[in-house]
């Protein structure tokens, strides 16, 4: 019972924090604490997140070979929990991408996203790999979910008795590359729009 309560609190934290991330970015933009570029980058990250959160969640619901499984199910029934997972995890993805942008702002020469810079690109890739690994370690530590080992999703290692697999790392290797090149185009588009 104690473990089920711990996992339920974990899911509620993820769902509420996803909404709070969105509200925080909204108010930062509304009160001009972040630029239009940052606002668009958040939504770019959200939309990119939907590109894997949606199909993976649907596959978990209907596939005979689901990519992931709940170690202890969410406290709300499906489809409510599935919809919450898709939306709030995508909001988290937008926030995680923005944290990567913040790291780039701190560590690279300004202006950022003006043209391809290896410093920006490397930070986005390394940060994304580390943050994705932290997400998977946190989910398995909390007994929330794990990705299932298949030939196309080999196990990298076991943590807390659960799989840490290659698929999410590959997603978060491809996604920041796409995000980075969109960020370059977005900055040019916003400069031309003025």
111 upstream amide cis, omega within 30 of 0 = yes
Q: Where exactly are the structural domains of the chain?
A: 2-193
For residue 194, what pLDDT is reported? Answer: 54
Which range has the worst mean pLDDT, 122-126, 145-149, 180-184, 190-194? 190-194
Report the C-alpha gap between 58 and 55 in whole angstroms.
5
**By percentage, how much of the chain surpasses pLDDT 70?**
99
Pairwise CA distance, residues 167 & 173, whole Å: 10
Strands 162-165 and 155-159: antiparallel
Mean pLDDT of 127-152: 97
DSSP secondary structure of 96-114 = HHHHHHHHHHHHSPSSTTS
pLDDT tens-place string over residues 24-83 = 999 999 999 999 999 999 999 999 999 999 999 999 999 999 999 999 999 999 999 999
Digit-coded pLDDT (tens) for 46-61:
999 999 999 999 999 9
């Amino acid at each position: 019972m104690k473990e089920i309560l711990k996992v339920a609190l974990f899911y509620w934290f993820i769902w509420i924090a996803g909404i709070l991330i969105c509200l925080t970015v909204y108010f930062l933009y509304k009160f001009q604490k972040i630029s239009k570029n940052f606002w668009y980058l958040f939504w770019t990250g959200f939309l990119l997140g939907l590109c894997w959160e949606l199909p993976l969640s649907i596959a978990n619901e209907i596939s005979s070979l689901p990519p992931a499984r709940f170690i202890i199910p969410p406290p709300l029934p499906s489809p409510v929990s599935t919809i919450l997972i898709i939306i709030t995890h995508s909001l988290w993805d937008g926030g995680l991408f923005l944290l990567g942008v913040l790291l780039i702002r701190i560590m690279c020469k300004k202006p950022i996203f003006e043209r391809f810079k290896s410093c920006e690109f490397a930070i986005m890739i390394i940060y994304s790999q580390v943050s994705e690994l932290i997400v998977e370690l946190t989910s398995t530590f909390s007994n929330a979910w794990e990705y299932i080992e298949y030939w196309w999703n080999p196990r990298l290692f076991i943590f807390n008795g659960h799989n840490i697999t290659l698929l999410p790392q590959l997603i978060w290797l491809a996604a920041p590359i796409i995000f980075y090149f969109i960020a370059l185009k977005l900055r040019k588009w916003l400069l031309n729009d003025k």
